[in-house]
Amino acid sequence: MSTKFRRALIVTFVLLLAAAFAPAAHADQTSKAQPFIVGGHDVSIGDHPYVVYLVDGRDHQFCGGTLVEHDTVLTAAHCAAAVRPYELGVVAGRQDTRMADGIEAGVRSVWLAPGYQDPTAGNDIAVLKLDRSVPYRPARLPSGGDSDLYRPGTEAMVLGWGRLWEGGDKATELQGATVPVMSDSQCIQAYGSYEPDTMMCAGYPEGGVDACHGDSGGPLVVGDILVGIVSWGDGCAKPGKPGVYTRVATYSDHVESLLVRLRG
């Protein structure tokens, strides 16, 4: 056997070996990725039936959302503006993005909050009217009497299919993490552009638990009440850099009257 041929044989063998082990190595990596959203855990969509995700024209998950009626979704304006409405899809009732269960709806109309320009400038909220009704229980909007929902220390849960760590893989199964609401003064300390009227922030001072890229538009809930919408942050789960959410209560009245109009 010529050395050249032998070398080629060895190279082929090594490549085959690598191919054989690659899937195992990958599986191992994903199983190590127990922390989710960042620092969360698997949650059942049955317990949070209002959580949906948005897909683009190629059917890729890119944001989250929340059913507030059987045919209406609240999401972030920066999510709704990222894709042309006719390419936008909403997937409801699906725990695992690799599956085909649940319902995929199209979007009939998109409303962006007036004044929305950029998440860090606030008003990062949008309403999507779906082209069909889905049979999953919607979340509630905060009302005037619910002001203590925003009290610092209130435990809220953020949900989504976004990255499991900064720059990491996206989750395939719905993830959830508990984060405490932070005080406005802490949020202002973290971010100069924080605006208490239209935003709220949540997380631990030491970081470690947070929403991440791909979670945008998704819900921050206290019980079944939608208190926040994942909007922005500096990286994910960094100490001193909490997640910033759209303060839904600020928009409740506006959204409610829009829902009435959309129903008619």
Catalytic residues: 78, 124, 216
For residue 216, the minimal CB distance to ligand ARG (Å) is: 3
Nearer to ligand ARG (CB atom), residue 39 or residue 49: 39
Residues belonging to the chain: 264
Q: How many chain residues touch ligand ARG (CB under 6 A)? A: 13
Q: How far is CA 80 from the centre of its chain?
A: 13
Burial 235-249 (b: 16+ CB within 10 A, else e): ebbbeebbbbbbbbb
Residue type at position 63: C
**Which stretch, 8-16, 52-60, 230-238, 246-254, contacts ligand ARG (CB under 6 A)?**
230-238
Q: Is 162 in the site for ligand ARG (CB under 6 A)?
A: yes
Nearer to ligand ARG (CB atom), residue 40 or residue 49: 40
Tell me the backbone φ, ψ of residue 260, rounded to 5 degrees. Answer: -60, -45
Q: Please report the DSSP string for 181-209 in residue order.
A: BPPHHHHHHH-TT--TTTEEEES-TT---
For residue 9, the minimal CB distance to ligand ARG (Å) is: 48
Tell me the backbone φ, ψ of residue 59, rounded to 5 degrees. Answer: 70, 25
**Which stretch, 45-53, 86-94, 182-190, 225-233, contacts ligand ARG (CB under 6 A)?**
225-233
Contacting ligand ARG within 192-221 (CB under 6 A):
210-216
Q: Running DSSP on this structure, what letter comes out for residue 235?
A: S
Cα–Cα dist 42/177, whole Å: 9
Q: Is 69 in the site for ligand ARG (CB under 6 A)?
A: no
> CB-side exposure of 220: number of CA atoms within 13 Å?
32
For residue 62, the minimal CB distance to ligand ARG (Å) is: 8
Q: Is 228 in the site for ligand ARG (CB under 6 A)?
A: no
Count Cβ atoms below 10 Å from residue 154 Cβ, excluding itself. 16
Nearer to ligand ARG (CB atom), residue 46 or residue 205: 205
From the list 233, 248, 250, 252, which residue makes contact with ligand ARG (rule: CB under 6 A)?
Answer: 233
Contacting positions for ligand ARG (CB under 6 A) = 162, 210-216, 230, 232-233, 236, 243
